[in-house]
Structure 1
Amino acid sequence: MCSNLGFSGWPPSTLPLLLLSVLPLVTSSSSSSSSRPQWILQRVPAVLPLQSQPRPSPRFLSPARLDVASQCDPECHLKAPPPLDRDLPQFLAYQTLHSDGRLSETAVGIYGLDSNPNQPPSRRKREIFGHDGRYSINGRDFALKYPFSAAVKLSTGCSGTLVGDRHVLTAAHCVHDGKNYVKGAQRLRVGFLKPKRDSRGGAVSNFTANMGDAHQSGKMKFQWIRAKRTHVPKGWIKGNANDIGMDYDYALLELKKTHRRRYLNLGVSPPSRSLPGRRVHFSGFDNDRPGQLVYRFCRAGEETSDLLYQRCDARPGASGSGVYARMWDVGRRRWQRKVIGVFSGHQWVERRGASQEFNVAVRITPLKYAQICYWIKGNFVDCREG
């Protein structure tokens, strides 16, 4: 597989040194009088496939999971010891499910890893959820306008986000329950929302926010594209990662054909304190508003190196949505939205003798960025800046 990198003539022992020589240095934005929040380029390691082996064909026995559960709250995650560097290749190795039912497993090598990232987690008391702050978005004027147009629906019931002309980022639990692939994963389809037409053939434009009419506009139709293959990191598969959670709850789908919609770029998740207003955004297809695209934004809360907690209102079905932020890109001299995480779902946790609710998203770390970007691009050269 290294032939995609353009280094097929190099001996294997030379490759790590060669990669280190071309990996970018840590780059920060230059001092500027502008107060605009800026994307800061970070060192991105290379996560490269080493060897792929066939695995026994899976049995698709598990029902699709539209939400996740964990007994570990934010404080528990913060206290958990970080994975050792020697364990990371095991967690970032991945399985690939092909549309014909074949299953393969790929080992990876990690090069240029910064073992001491200076990113202390923030601590903030979680606030109780208030009124429903979700927005239903329908019609050509909104639902098919970027960035809402990048949201797609999975046939297993989850949501996803377009991150390439043939690629969809979603949650791993939408296709794999940690032990088995879910029913429908082999024949997985991705739905693109189509505008609803009124009785005269025109597009309906509607933008409602928690006004009790979530079902009155009726269902919208989808155009479906089959998934060609699905990548799931082994860190998600039970027995390979820690027991507390969802650090690797992400997956990438490759479609059988290209689409024509604008997609969102990937970005390394910055500390929540550097986000504009500390806000995050995402759109998905919540089950309680069938056929509608639901958008929300909210203030980011506690975070760990791998997880981001927030107060965005959501229901099952929104899992897998790409969490994004909008910041100033100094190099391109324009505002740019980037996907910085994957919405995993709600967590109900027994904490101090009471049940408490948490919303959690998996952050795109430099390592995860390198892996997902390689799945999309097929080389590490285009994945050097996060």
Structure 2
Amino acid sequence: MASLFSLVLLPLLLLLCAQPGSLERPNWPLQRVPVVLPQQIEEGPSPHFIGPAQLEVTSSCSPECHKQAPTPSYWDLRHFLSYETLHSNGQLTETAVGIYGFDINSLQKSPAAERVHSRTKRQIFGHDGRFSIVGQDFLLNYPFSTAVKLSTGCSGTLVGDKHVLTAAHCIHDGKNYVKGAQRLRVGFLKPRQKDTPLYNSTDASKTPTSHKMKFQWIRVKRTHVPKGWIKGNANDIGMDYDYALLELKKAHKRRHMKLGVSPSSKQLPGRRVQFSGFDNDRLGQLVYRFCKAGDETYDLLYQHCDAQPGASGSGVYARMWDRRRRRWERKVIGVFSGHQWVDLNGTPQEFNVAVRITPLKYAQICYWIKGNYVDCRDG
């Protein structure tokens, strides 16, 4: 009955989320993005694949703490946006970057938004507003077909012919790469052939899937993680850089979702965000949700979208009007970092947090995908 309810109600929900009011059409902001270019590449120390992937993130910093953090300097930003690349053969390289065409004063203009009030229920805020996507007509079609599963247990989003955007903590705990990161795989839901077992045959914890669907897995060729996430290289608020890009060994042959610079939450249609992922309390199912965005800093977006571990790494997206192409487009504007516990003077508070794709992050991720900064000037 629940599946039937989701199947009937989902098209209406998508319509409500996707179609803005007729009196006011939200537009993707037109802006030039800076350039983030590699300057020096060195071989790094052999990585250690130690602990399991942590599907929940902890932090000692609340939204107000993030807002009061010192503004990074130009040199800080260069350091945070430098990155490590883990290759499938176990080699690690470290790349220093240069930043060009960026107005450092723009960091002082963090968007103002309403204050987030703490909730009492863990990860599910009030009534559970998640919807399991059922039926091949939904699962194999855009935008749901852009959601993928990582063999470490997280989710991700297709953002290129061979590229997946996810959360950094899904492959690196801030100190070391997690177990499974060297032989990382990305899973795509596809129809199950007759006589195929209900469990996939990979090393991805043998996740049970629907009797009509299974995961097909593609190995990851290389992984990029910004230095801003790695402890000892960033400030204590590494949450701002909890994102990573995976390059697959072969093309996935699905339509991917475009990247976009994150607008202010006030510019979003109905101030809503959406994302789909593989929550671990609904094994083998793709779960969709949408909710109103709340507080925000320059780098983070706080919201009360219902989610469980496993959804971490999902691409947070919005649908707005592209004035240049004169059409509606969905774009990934952030990465769902997950459920964050914050200890404030002995009082636990909780938030669901997404890392916003800022102009600098857009320039960096776009370069990782395209390898050419000329193709990354318009966000």
Q: TM-score range with shorter-chain normalisation?
A: 0.7 to 0.9
The one-letter code of the counterpart of 1:288 is D
CA contact (8 A) 2:189 2:216 kept: yes
The one-letter code of the counterpart of 2:144 is F
What is the 5 A alignment of 1:76-115?
Answer: 76-115=65-104
Counterpart of 1:334 in structure 2 is: 327
Q: How far apart are the structure 2 equivalents of 1:312 and 1:38?
A: 23
Task: Tell me the SS of whatever aligns to 1:221.
Answer: strand
Counterpart of 1:144 in structure 2 is: 140
Counterpart of 2:275 in structure 1 is: 282
Choose from 249, 254, 257 the match for 1:261.
Answer: 254
Task: Tell me the SS of whatever aligns to 2:334.
Answer: strand
Choose from 337, 348, 357 the match for 2:350.
Answer: 357
Range 264-273 or range 40-49, more displaced: 40-49
Change (3 A) 1:97 1:216: closer
Q: How far apart are the structure 2 equivalents of 1:164 and 1:216?
A: 26
Q: How far apart are the structure 2 equivalents of 1:379 and 1:217?
A: 40
How big is each residue's C-alpha offset from its partner over 1:114-155, in whole Å with a ceiling of 9 and x where there is no partner?
112244332323363211100001221111110000000000
Counterpart of 1:133 in structure 2 is: 129
The one-letter code of the counterpart of 1:62 is G
CA contact (8 A) 2:221 2:249 kept: yes
Matched, 1:161 2:157: yes
Choose from 241, 247, 262 the match for 1:248.
Answer: 241
Q: How far apart are the structure 2 equivalents of 1:40 and 1:316?
A: 32
Counterpart of 1:122 in structure 2 is: 113
CA offset at residue 245 of structure 1? 3.5
Q: How far apart are the structure 2 equivalents of 1:61 and 1:106?
A: 23
The one-letter code of the counterpart of 2:60 is Q
How big is each residue's C-alpha offset from its partner over 1:84-113, in whole Å with a ceiling of 9 and x where there is no partner?
112111110000000000000001000001
Task: Tell me the SS of whatever aligns to 1:194.
Answer: strand
Could you state the TM-score of these two structures normalised by the residue count of structure 1?
Answer: 0.84
How big is each residue's C-alpha offset from its partner over 1:267-322, in whole Å with a ceiling of 9 and x where there is no partner?
00000000000000000000000000000000000000000000100010000000
Choose from 20, 25, 39 the match for 2:28.
Answer: 39
CA offset at residue 196 of structure 1? 5.2
CA contact (8 A) 1:143 1:195 kept: no
Could you state the TM-score of these two structures normalised by the residue count of structure 2?
Answer: 0.86
Change (3 A) 1:219 1:358: farther
CA contact (8 A) 2:315 2:333 kept: yes
CA contact (8 A) 1:190 1:227 kept: yes
CA offset at residue 340 of structure 1? 0.3
The one-letter code of the counterpart of 2:172 is H
Task: Tell me the SS of whatever aligns to 1:116.
Answer: helix
The one-letter code of the counterpart of 2:135 is G
Q: How far apart are the structure 2 equivalents of 1:121 and 1:115?
A: 18
Q: How far apart are the structure 1 equivalents of 2:252 and 2:314?
A: 18
What is the 5 A alignment of 1:1-386?
Answer: 35-117=24-106, 118-126=109-117, 128=119, 129-195=125-191, 220-351=213-344, 354-386=347-379
CA contact (8 A) 1:126 1:301 kept: no
Q: How far apart are the structure 1 equivalents of 2:60 and 2:194?
A: 47
Q: How far apart are the structure 2 equivalents of 1:324 and 1:182?
A: 27
For the pair shown, the structure with the greater C-alpha radius of gyration is 1
Q: How far apart are the structure 2 equivalents of 1:174 and 1:224?
A: 17
Comparing both structures, which one devotes a greater share of its residues to helix?
2
Q: How far apart are the structure 2 equivalents of 1:35 and 1:365?
A: 25
The one-letter code of the counterpart of 2:82 is A
Counterpart of 1:205 in structure 2 is: none
Q: How far apart are the structure 1 equivalents of 2:324 and 2:193?
A: 41
How big is each residue's C-alpha offset from its partner over 1:140-188, in whole Å with a ceiling of 9 and x where there is no partner?
1111110000000000000000000000000000010000000110110
Task: Tell me the SS of whatever aligns to 1:324.
Answer: strand
Q: How far apart are the structure 1 equivalents of 2:86 and 2:283?
A: 28
How many residues align structurally? 339
Task: Tell me the SS of whatever aligns to 1:173.
Answer: helix
Counterpart of 2:203 in structure 1 is: none
Report the identity percentage.
Answer: 75
Q: How far apart are the structure 1 equivalents of 2:261 and 2:214?
A: 33
Range 108-117 or range 118-127, more displaced: 118-127
Q: How far apart are the structure 2 equivalents of 1:345 and 1:237?
A: 18
Q: Which runs of 5 or more structure 1 residues have no equivalent in the other structure?
A: 1-32, 200-214
Q: Which runs of 5 or more structure 2 residues have no equivalent in the other structure?
A: 1-21, 120-124, 196-207
Range 329-338 or range 218-227, more displaced: 218-227
The one-letter code of the counterpart of 1:254 is E
How big is each residue's C-alpha offset from its partner over 1:361-381, in whole Å with a ceiling of 9 and x where there is no partner?
000000000000000000100
